[in-house]
Chains A and B, each alone.
Chain A
């Protein structure tokens, strides 16, 4: 089974702190994604990566950056956390387009609270 592991299930940070959210997948997938989930808004794509050191902005990249130094690991960085970044963050991975149905495999989520 594909496993996508997010390092922290729950985090509480203060405004202005730097926050790292880590995600690791064990299925050698090329694509990795970071979404945030908010009630009534569904999932919104922050950034995705289709290869090591490659990244693409999603729909809401402002206030976030990402890092993909190794194929299995995709990190989401909040340089200076703000209260409006309080949310559930979901990491996902998938094989390359054309290899499969495009199914995304999700981690369990990291709930971030910024005070």
Chain B
């Protein structure tokens, strides 16, 4: 299977930008995803990027994709305490949408 790696923890001050990084191994992944998991809840799709794009912006969220280096990042501008959660990077496996490979998750803590 594909390997998807993320750092486990990130702490930022409220109002600062957060950048969560992810690397993956399968260059054929068509879609790459960021999911958010709030305490006691399941995962919810935050945003995704198609592999032929290198950037996608959605309000406070910016996703950057470097296909050559197989590196994906999620930038959250003006981070709020409500952004505290676990963020999972996921890459589509070779079977397509039938299977996603998830990273370990990055626990973002926003300090007031």
Contact = CB atoms under 8 A, between A and B. Distances in A.
Contact of B98 (A35, A41, A50, A106): A50
Interface of A: 4, 31, 35, 40-45, 48, 50, 58-59, 90, 92, 94, 96-98, 100-104, 106-109
Interface residues of B, number: 26
Interface of B: 1, 4, 8, 30-31, 33, 35, 40-45, 48, 88, 92, 95-100, 102-105
Given A43-B88, A43-B102, A103 B45 contact: yes
A103 B99 contact: no
A48 B100 CA distance: 11
Q: Classify the secondary structure of A's interface with B.
A: loop
A106 B104 contact: no
Contacts of B1: 59
B100 A42 contact: no
A90 B100 CA distance: 14
